[in-house]
Structure 1
């Protein structure tokens, strides 16, 4: 019984240490410019009442940007 309590406490502690970023949503956008792609990401974040962090952006014929939305 003592082992079960210890494991339960350890699991609860581990879950409480998880950051809010682990529950973040990843979104992507494409545009002809970096500013355009970022504006689309910013609009998605604003619509959800969240902030964003750009994870990657690639530039070819169009810009593709991926970002993480978080509270």
Structure 2
């Protein structure tokens, strides 16, 4: 039982640490931030939240601390582009 408790605790802390590594969406260029590049993402459906989440995951995957969505379009298949900053 102790091992199960330790395993669950480790999983919870690991998941929490990944959440803190996520990139944050910004509406303006952050002060002292350096542009790292541009990312693209697409999702099926009309859910802008899913597109934003996909862009956030890609930004975090490239080591960005923040990102700014510069375009989003589509109909039943959304496409988005964002600038990433570090």
Q: TM tier, shorter chain?
A: 0.5 to 0.7
Residue of structure 1 equivalent to 2:56:
42
Which whole-Å CA distance do the structure 2 matches of 1:55 and 1:38 have between them?
11
- Which one of 30, 34, 41 corresponds to residue 20 of structure 1? 34
Q: Which of 44, 48, 58 in structure 1 is aligned with 2:73?
A: 58
Structure 1 residue ranges, 4+ long, deviating more than 2 angstroms after superposition:
none
Gap runs ≥5 in structure 2: 1-32
Aligned-pair RMSD on alpha carbons?
1.6
Bigger-Rg structure (1/2)? 1
- The aligned length equals 51
Gaps of 5+ in 1: 1-18
Shift of 1:20: 2.6
> Which structure carries more helix by proportion?
1
